[in-house]
Amino acid sequence: MSQAIVVFSGGQDSTTCLGLAIRQHGKENVSCITFHYGQRHALEVDVAKKMAASLGIRTHHIISLDNYADLTRSALLDSTLKITAQTADAPPNTVVDGRNMLFLLLAAVVAKRDGIHDIYTGVCQADSSGYPDCRDTFIKACNVTLNLAMDYNFQIHTPLMFLNKMQIWALADELGMLERIANETLTCYNGIIGPGCGSCPSCHLRQRGYAAYLQSKSTPCA
């Protein structure tokens, strides 16, 4: 089987993505890369370490980008800012400019060094919360750019790109990971594992999708 590297935050989407990569490549051929970038929910790094280890991942790269807050302003990097959701006039203030591009670049650097061509990331356009770097057009452009920049044939996989949160929960269930992801991942911007705080935009998306999926499971087929 071919090798793969997963950009891994320890959240719902990236854990589902990791499960897919393991199914496709085998856990012995999958590595993870996680970033500590000064995020207010920095507990996600510890959650990612624990989750990757529990899934049998032997190689887990932890990359420090602690000076990110010196470069840009975001509610995810500044805990004194109140988190605001997307509006008709503006994206959410949790956007971290350049984050996914930088993550993919560094994942690609590690991948080329280790002879890996397949990079997985859990970005999702359908429920992107207004993040411009979660769009399919960005990923495709980034893939071309990375291949040109390093003269290497990377393939960025985004298996969740066109799924909504309910469908992502369904996929987690199909992978046999529903309870693990519901209880052990961290998606909450306020750093609460599992169900989260229930009030931040990330929790709203997660909980709404989970409730919809559980409802779909309990609804008898016609």
| DSSP string computed for 123-160 | --STT-TT-GGGSHHHHHHHHHHHHHHHTS--EEE-TT
pLDDT at position 160: 97
pTM of the model: 0.94
Q: What letters, b where the CB count within 10 A reaches 16 and e where it falls short, cover 64-95?
A: ebeebbeeeebbbbeeeeebebbeeeeebbbb
Answer for the pair 47, 15: CB distance below 8 angstroms, yes or no: no
Query: pLDDT averaged over the chain?
Result: 93
pLDDT confidence band for 128 (50 / 70 / 90)? low
pLDDT at position 87: 73
> Going by C-beta distance under 8 Å and a sequence separation of 6 or more, which residues neighbour residue 40?
75, 76, 77, 78, 79, 189, 190, 191
pLDDT at position 91: 78
For the beta carbon of residue 113, count every other beta carbon within 10 angstroms.
8
Segment holding 120, helix H or strand E = strand 118-120
Structure token digits, residue 119: 């990079």
Q: What percent of the chain has pLDDT over 70?
A: 96
Cα separation, 177 vs 198, whole angstroms: 22
For the beta carbon of residue 208, count every other beta carbon within 10 angstroms.
14
Question: pLDDT digits over 75-112, tens only?
Answer: 999 988 988 777 766 778 889 999 999 999 999 999 99
Is the pLDDT confidence value at 129 over 60? yes
- Number of domains within the chain: 1
pLDDT at position 163: 96
Q: CATH no. for residue 9?
A: 3.40.50.620
Is the pLDDT confidence value at 206 over 70? yes
- Give me the domain span that covers residue 90: 4-218
> Which runs of consecutive H residues, i.e. helices, occur in the chain?
12-25, 43-54, 99-113, 136-150, 165-174, 178-184, 201-218
Q: Which residues pair with 33 in a beta bridge?
A: 7, 61
